[in-house]
Structure 1
Amino acid sequence: MVDGEDVMPKVNRVLQRMGEFAHEVRSGSWLGYTNQVITDVVNIGIGGSDLGPLTMCTALKPFGHPRLNMHFVSNVDGSQLRDVLSKVHPETTLFIIASKHLPRRKR
């Protein structure tokens, strides 16, 4: 309950959508903008927005899909991003921008 509202139905819907999206990326049915299969995923985040996904991907790497290469950018100075961008192709790369402080829609 948040402010008297049961938020669990919304949380469960988002979790279901996230699971479906992850399945589509892993299965190859989610395509890049030129209709090519995603081969690389770049997570851009600082602090917990980087460490959580990095830790999870490291721990679960033996169970990962061999086609998908994970990359992590955790520094805002640009050199780390430049290094990652030199290794990936935009048409086959999924970029994730992770932040606790993204602008929110007003209710």
Structure 2
Amino acid sequence: MEAFTVLVDELAGRGVAAGQMFGKPTLKNADGKALACLFGGSVAFRLVAGTAEHARALGLAGAELFDPSGKGRAMKDWVLVPGAHRAHFVEFATAALDRLA
């Protein structure tokens, strides 16, 4: 997804690099911790449950807690945001990066 490549480019100056998680393209901070993951046509962001960014992301149409297994074991800190909301991707990736710092 082109929007994911834009995230890599936008955050490269802050030590973010592309990697893999669950066999999917992932953004990782300088310490190797995942902050975003491309999953189908959506991107999952590690926004931390209870934060304003987490609530804002979940408020978007079609967004949901990230359940990579599809077996009802959602990751409470991660929100899967549909590609239709790509205008928010840099905002959420930056928030996720700031939370990992």
State whether TM-score is above 0.5: no
Would you tell me which structure has more helix in proportion to its own residues?
A: 1
Q: TM-score, normalised by structure 2?
A: 0.25
The structure having more radius of gyration, on CA atoms, is 1
Q: Looking at both structures, which has the greater relative contact order when contacts are Cα pairs under 8 Å and sequence separation is at least 6?
A: 1
**TM-score w.r.t. length of structure 1:** 0.24
Normalized per residue, which structure has more strand?
A: 2
